[in-house]
Amino acid sequence: MSVAQRGEGADHGRAPSPGWLPAPAAGGVRRIGTVELRRVRLPLVRRFRTSSHAKAELEHILVVLTDTDGAVGWGEIASPSGPFYSAETVESCWAVARDHLAPLALRTDWKHPAELAAALGKVRGNAFARAGFDIAAWALWSAAAGVPLAYALGGRRDHVEAGVSLGIEPTVDDLLAQVGLRVEEGYRRVKLKIAPGWDVEPVRAVRAAHPDVPLHVDANGAYEDIPAHRAVLEQLDELGLLMIEQPFAPRALVAHAALQERIATPVCLDESVEEVDDLVTALRLGAGRILNIKVSRMGGLTHAVRAHDLAYEHGVPVWCGGMHEFGIGRAANVALSALAGFTLPSDVSGSDRYYARDVTTRPIASAEGLVEVPTAPGLGWEADLPYVEQRTTDRLVLGAGDGA
């Protein structure tokens, strides 16, 4: 089933759960009347460190699309501030959104979000920037049709399982304390960030303290395909992990395939798969057995669903990764995680894990490791406009006259 067919009676192999509304019809032609961009900054509850950098606050770009009939959709460009996870930054996304994506959106007629995504695809790369527009288009379209975003995408779950991601801590004891808190909160999977020098010892300590907790590690490409690093990864293979995520650099698919042949633990790809064609290559090479699908990295929900469908066809389990999204982007992640192929806990932990106050009127909450999938039309969470205004550092509104 193609993404263009979603929302037209598709059930993705599952019967609709009680209470779900009928799937939306494609509807008439839409045109965006205004594009609003907001740079919004939120402090993190706790400093977060990965193999490449640390952060204490985040600035993301919120995208608000309003069509000529008055329908509104919110999206989020959840790019990092610096070029560490990818080449994109808040500054580059702002420029691309302002100078290229907004004008394209303003002059494109579309019936389905996939058609707008195709038009925005004229802008090469810049997946994070495109994702914000694509999320907003799906939110607008599903809200106008009167159905939940998850259902419009093809999802049929009432709840999704939540995992939690923990950064590199100053000491092993600090890490153990954080893991203990999250296990008590009921999260269904714990992910540990690792890097050369912070790997076997802390992971072994966590595994000893929590022998039955689904545990996985994420290197964000920090290791090289050299004997010393391969030896470390083979030691991690002995610790009963759910997966080893992105050990090598994004384009090192051959190295990932060779590692997967040597170890029993599934290799999970993240940064390596930016486009569906990357996934085709990875599947052909046998470069991993699990896929992390990030809405931002894939350029939006349209392409994330296509990646899900391909992985589903090949029997590859998937889960939805996160970029410390604010509530808007996190709502999109929850909706995506309702699809059938998301059989592993996703990074949709509660908003309070990262922000004392989120940009939505109610936080996204996890109870016993489960997040409820909204049944309200559209995203299911509303933007807290007064607070968004308070945290906005820059704002730009473009209209039809700016789309020529």
What residues act catalytically? 193, 294
Name the DSSP letter for residue 378.
B
Our CA angle for 336, 339, 343, nearest 5°, is: 105
> How far is 127 from 212, CA to CA, in rounded Å?
37
Number of C-alpha atoms within 13 angstroms, CB side, residue 313? 10
Residue 400, Cβ density class (10 Å: 0-12 exposed, 13-18 middle, ≥19 buried): middle
Task: Look up residue 273 and give its DSSP letter.
Answer: -
What is d(CA 107, CA 10) in angstroms, rounded to the nearest whole number? 30
Compute the distance between CA of residue 195 and CA of residue 51 in angstroms, rounded to an integer: 5
Whole-number Å distance between alpha carbons of 329 and 322? 9
CA-CA distance, 63 to 39, in Å (whole number)? 9
Give me the residues paired with residue 342 across strands.
318
- DSSP class of residue 15? P
HSE-CB at 138 with a 13 A cutoff on CA atoms is 38
Angle made by CA atoms 46, 49, 50, in degrees to the nearest 5 = 145
User: Who's near 189: CB < 8 A, 6+ residues apart?
Assistant: 161, 163, 164, 213, 214, 215, 216, 242, 344, 345
